[in-house]
Structure 1
Amino acid sequence: MPIIDYLRYNAGKYGDEVALVEVNPEIQEPRRITWRDYDLVQNTETQAYRREITWKVFDEKANRFANLLINRGVKAGDKVAILLMNCLEWLPIYFGILKTGAIAVPLNFRYASDEIEYCVNLADVDILVFGPEFIGRIEAIVPSIQRNRLLFYVGGDCPSFAEDYHELTANCSSADPMIPISDDDYGAIYFSSGTTGFPKAILHKHRSLSHSAQVEQHHHGQTHDDVFLCIPPLYHTGAKMHWFGSLISGSKAVLLRGVSPKTIFDAVSEEGCTIVWLLVPWAQDILLAIEEGRIHPVDYKLDQWRLMHIGAQPVPKSLISKWKSIFPAHQYDTNYGLSESIGPGCVHLGVENIEHVGAIGVAGYGWEVKIAAADGNDVQPGEVGELCVRGPGVMDCYYNNPEATAETITPDGWLLTGDMAMQDEEGFYWLVDRKKDVVITGGENIYPVQIEDFLSAHPAVKDVAVIGLPDERLGEIATAVIELKPEAAESTTEADINEFCEQLPRYKRPRRIIFADVPRNATGKIEKPALRRLYGAEKLVELENKA
């Protein structure tokens, strides 16, 4: 059934129970606001450390926005974009769009003005909803995007080129418009990471959204008593689709703004969180803060925390080993997915398979998985090929891009992920690397993830990225960009790293070591194209001359 029906059900069964909590540690005054009735919600500029809404108010806010859109002529198939930081308004706006039969179009909050303009035009957006953090970026492109488009502003001091969302929705009916929606209707457009240029628009049907909720609840067993801590950005499929497990179970979720080991532990402790989804950098930061004595787990109420899971990027085995040594009672899961497969879970480790940490796991609930060679034929266990997935969560297409769609989805429905992987004899899949990130040095294929996993075990290494850089003799050389732990930055040398790498086969050893920060995007993925640009051939010569 369409995802909006879960919200309707929760509003009826759990109406007076808390659905969403927003915690904003950046607000110093520890004021708290509870919204039990919509009339109390109109002045949303009242700053508070903590805001919450019930399932009833959640549904009413979605209905009010849906009715506003309908009053403005929005109909099935129209597109409404969301450009907001994580906040209490985000999900009611998303569900309000879906209730009209329109298509929700979440935008990356890191987009610059030209990227916003590009995505708005690519997706044929009719209405853009944006927050105060984006006034400058939107104002810069108003002349080019406002033609035939409405701009709704969520915040105080509404700019002159937009309309005030809060004032408009306050005067709209809270009755559900009950527009007929089926699983075959289009529901959302998400955007690819854009690592090879501007992003592609990924069109999904309601079936995909509903399936992602069922996958999440099946994998992690959310009950009505669970509390999910949501930290990653809601524009991304990962965060939202993990929250969908809370939607199915009618359980509370906490939206945390501002990420640090302390704010995460504070939220888990104060809100009674039982499930936390982390990105690799955040887990690394927590372990480092504990190691350095900046936070002490015994100072927090953490006994109820039952599950920590990670997704969006390869996870070093050493990281999970350290985590389990500190939190032995935690269940752990790795989730693999991509926006084209409606986010996490098409492959997952499973909490019952902790002994296989390092693998991305097995086929997720309702999914099929295979590994194919370049000619499309299946490979044997132990051989590397392209990871392919098939199931109800595969995108319908790249919107307005039939060529890219044909290159990505086979005629029999397999989604080509672009990730190189292998399957072991026990049936577990191991991510080897992105196809475009494979380093070919002297005719040998080197898979950076394997080297990154190895280097992560060095006690001085906080984070690491391995990239291929041009070399006249070998074609490419493996270069390790290493971010050291603060206490090790002065004492660790390139010779130390090279000595550690002697445990690797000679051809896998990095030929260059660069000590620098490792950039990651908002979903925790290493920004390797940026590193390749930064440390290209000319940069390497410069570094060598300085040495």
Structure 2
Amino acid sequence: MNLSWWLERSFWEYPDKPAVVDADGTTVSYRELRALANRVGNVLARHGVGEDDVVVTAMSDNHLHVACLYGTLSVGASFSGLNYKLHPGKPVADARHCGAKLAIVAPEHVDLGKRLQAEAGVETVLVTTGDHGLARLDQLLAEAADELRIVPRNAEDVAAINFTSGTSGASKGVTFTHGTLQNSAWGAVFLGGVDSRARNLSLVGMYHSGGIHDSIRMVMAGGTILWSDGWDVDRVIDIFLTRKPNWMYWIIPTMMRDLMRHPRFGELDLQGLRTYVAGEPVPVDLRNALLSKGAQVGNMYGLTEAMPVCVLGPSLYYGDEAAVPIGSSGRPSKGFCTAVLKDPFTGEIIEGNDVEGEVCIKGDVVTPGYFNDPDRTRQAFDEGGFLHTRDRAYRDPDGWWFIRGRTDDIIKPGGEKLSLLEVDATLQAHPDVTDAACVGVPHDRFGEVPAAFVELARPMSEEEMRDLLDAHCIATLERWKRPRLYVLVDAVPRTPAKRSKMATVMKAQLEGMTVRDADGVTTFGAMKVGAP
């Protein structure tokens, strides 16, 4: 079934109820959102977009973006929100990979739109408003009809493509089908007890699986989406105080730390708020801060390949979170998928409790694979149909699951996956670097960040190396990916064949260190001097 029927159904049931409230306070009802989505769909159809075509977007998170999602789905096409915050080459490569036919961009992303047309083969680029040498979506919408027949789709048809980082640093297009995304959204509604009274503060954008899921789940329930339009702690505080959300389906610990440090955090009354903390195990102080404000809090583990919830997580509807031990994400949510632990070397299922292994999943919410990428799809799934997540988990004697990190070179600063191999390659490309390799190091705001071990080709101080390579990374990588700690070494610890870094040896050198956000980008020497 086409997911757009859920917008149609909520229009039948709640025509005048607020469907979306933008960050600036603009509010649209279900009647208005449905009409706008239909107009978008008619504009797309006029430009030749139909079944199995791909529409990409680069725009703010607001009611128009939600309408673009549903308009795309209604004509039988697939939606992909491009992450315009990345280095411009990434969204261009993503659009090229998925064979996008049409792009919709905001005025501030016109340059990206022109690159999509010139370099990614996108046939048509529409700008949401303004005269920029491109067709204007607002003018086309004014001429379009409010009615549109929804194109039938089945469970296996592609609804969305969400690009996420892979272990090599190159993006992977995770396929969301109408069936898997619907199963995930329905399951999330029931797991949390989301109904038409829900006012969900949506903190992650529609280039992210979480933003897509919020846009489907809340419309499915007949609730209201309260967009923050990116992470701005001042704006989020204001939304809490003025719009009184009763749901924040997910927040990552980095965001929660920012809230706790805000001078107005004491003004917040979170009585009646339900939320899941995701992205990393929930620290005790963060959980207690939410509970002390009256919120109901669960710890959730999921991933983009699971739409992106919910492999592990307690039912807030039944109040199951109270029984979950601190640091645990609970037990597998059988209504979503089957989760097992496997030996990462043999692939055998590990039975019993008090064991550790790789989390592997299959079932109703698991992606069928990576879009136009059979090799990566084949590598991700085993013969039994299980997706290998590369996440390690410990199952304690009572059957509670604790996420313990990665089986590969992925860390999650601020809850976002980052390939350390990508950072390694960036550092190694500098002419003054003989060798470089990164491991994760604790960070008091982001949870974990890259620490770079660097062997130089010419003499310089650790501080000079830091400044040189930080500038290089900022120019080459997305800013958030750069190392926050530099270690000058005579040689990077590697295996005898020199192919693999010895992460255990490197991490041992950093034992007990936590980089502070106030330190910015620092050095091993500075950390040692500042140690108590």
Same fold (TM over 0.5): yes
Q: Give 1:250 deviation, angstroms.
A: 0.5
1:84-95 mapped onto 2 (5 Å cutoff):
84-95=59-70
- Measure, in 1, the Cα distance between the counterparts of 2:123 and 2:410: 43
- Measure, in 2, the Cα distance between the counterparts of 1:330 and 1:286: 14
Q: Give 1:363 deviation, angstroms.
A: 1.6
Matching of residue 150 in structure 1 with residue 117 in structure 2: no
Q: Give 1:400 deviation, angstroms.
A: 2.1
Change (3 A) 1:402 1:260: closer
Question: Which among 14, 35, 41 is matched to residue 60 of structure 1?
Answer: 35
The residue type paired with residue 280 of structure 2 is: Q
Matching of residue 376 in structure 1 with residue 359 in structure 2: no
List per-residue Cα deviations over 1:359-387 (Å, max 9, x = no partner).
12222223111010021112242222111
Q: Confirm or deny: 8 A CA contact 2:117 2:125 kept in the other structure.
A: no
TM (norm. structure 1) is: 0.74
Equivalent position of 1:203 in the other structure: 175
Equivalent position of 2:321 in the other structure: 353
SS in 2 for 1:410: coil
Question: Which among 317, 326, 335 is matched to residue 284 of structure 2?
Answer: 317
List per-residue Cα deviations over 1:4-48 (Å, max 9, x = no partner).
111110111111111100023xxxxxxxxxxxxxxxxxxxxxxxx
Identical amino acids, percent of aligned pairs: 19
Q: Confirm or deny: 8 A CA contact 2:2 2:73 kept in the other structure.
A: no
- Measure, in 2, the Cα distance between the counterparts of 1:518 and 1:105: 36
Change (3 A) 1:74 1:142: closer
Q: Give 1:204 deviation, angstroms.
A: 2.3
- Measure, in 1, the Cα distance between the counterparts of 2:342 and 2:198: 39
Q: Give 1:296 deviation, angstroms.
A: 5.2
- Measure, in 2, the Cα distance between the counterparts of 1:544 and 1:358: 30
Question: Which among 78, 88, 104 is matched to residue 103 of structure 1?
Answer: 78
Equivalent position of 1:511 in the other structure: 511
Change (3 A) 1:118 1:317: same
Matching of residue 281 in structure 1 with residue 254 in structure 2: yes
Q: Confirm or deny: 8 A CA contact 2:301 2:329 kept in the other structure.
A: yes
Change (3 A) 1:142 1:512: farther
Q: Give 1:138 deviation, angstroms.
A: 3.3
Equivalent position of 2:99 in the other structure: 124
SS in 2 for 1:399: coil
Q: Confirm or deny: 8 A CA contact 1:261 1:295 kept in the other structure.
A: no
- Measure, in 1, the Cα distance between the counterparts of 2:279 and 2:378: 25
Matching of residue 334 in structure 1 with residue 268 in structure 2: no
List per-residue Cα deviations over 1:292-314 (Å, max 9, x = no partner).
xx2154x45644x3212222333
Question: Which among 101, 111, 133 is matched to residue 136 of structure 1?
Answer: 111
Q: Confirm or deny: 8 A CA contact 1:387 1:419 kept in the other structure.
A: yes
Equivalent position of 1:3 in the other structure: 3
1:446-465 mapped onto 2 (5 Å cutoff):
452=442, 461-465=444-448
List per-residue Cα deviations over 1:411-462 (Å, max 9, x = no partner).
33211111111211222211100112499xxxxxxxx99x95xxx8xxxx55
- Measure, in 1, the Cα distance between the counterparts of 2:451 and 2:283: 20
1:370-519 mapped onto 2 (5 Å cutoff):
370-373=340-343, 374-380=345-351, 381-437=353-409, 452=442, 461-465=444-448, 510-511=510-511, 513=513, 515-517=515-517
Change (3 A) 1:316 1:111: same
SS in 1 for 2:179: helix
- Measure, in 2, the Cα distance between the counterparts of 1:260 and 1:300: 16
Q: Give 1:259 deviation, angstroms.
A: 3.8
Q: Give 1:73 deviation, angstroms.
A: 1.7
SS in 2 for 1:200: strand
Structure 1 residue runs of 5 or longer lacking an equivalent are 25-49, 440-447, 473-506, 520-530
Change (3 A) 1:540 1:17: same
The residue type paired with residue 370 of structure 1 is: V
Change (3 A) 1:243 1:508: farther
Q: Confirm or deny: 8 A CA contact 1:183 1:205 kept in the other structure.
A: yes
Q: Confirm or deny: 8 A CA contact 1:113 1:141 kept in the other structure.
A: no
- Measure, in 2, the Cα distance between the counterparts of 1:268 and 1:544: 41
Equivalent position of 2:205 in the other structure: 233
Equivalent position of 2:223 in the other structure: 251
Change (3 A) 1:133 1:196: farther
The residue type paired with residue 109 of structure 1 is: Y
Equivalent position of 1:19 in the other structure: 19
Q: Confirm or deny: 8 A CA contact 2:167 2:409 kept in the other structure.
A: no
Equivalent position of 1:366 in the other structure: 336
Change (3 A) 1:175 1:421: same
Q: Give 1:404 deviation, angstroms.
A: 0.9
- Measure, in 1, the Cα distance between the counterparts of 2:528 and 2:341: 41
SS in 1 for 2:309: strand
Q: Confirm or deny: 8 A CA contact 1:242 1:344 kept in the other structure.
A: no
Change (3 A) 1:126 1:114: same
Q: Confirm or deny: 8 A CA contact 1:112 1:137 kept in the other structure.
A: no
Structure 2 residue runs of 5 or longer lacking an equivalent are 412-438, 456-506
The residue type paired with residue 511 of structure 1 is: E
- Measure, in 1, the Cα distance between the counterparts of 2:530 and 2:6: 61
List per-residue Cα deviations over 1:42-76 (Å, max 9, x = no partner).
xxxxxxxx201110111111111111112222221
- Measure, in 1, the Cα distance between the counterparts of 2:59 and 2:260: 30
- Measure, in 1, the Cα distance between the counterparts of 2:5 and 2:110: 34
List per-residue Cα deviations over 1:282-328 (Å, max 9, x = no partner).
21112222xxxx2154x45644x32122223332233213332x22x
Q: Give 1:263 deviation, angstroms.
A: 2.7
Q: Give 1:463 deviation, angstroms.
A: 4.9
Change (3 A) 1:223 1:515: closer
List per-residue Cα deviations over 1:155-202 (Å, max 9, x = no partner).
3x2311x21111112211111222122222221111113463220112
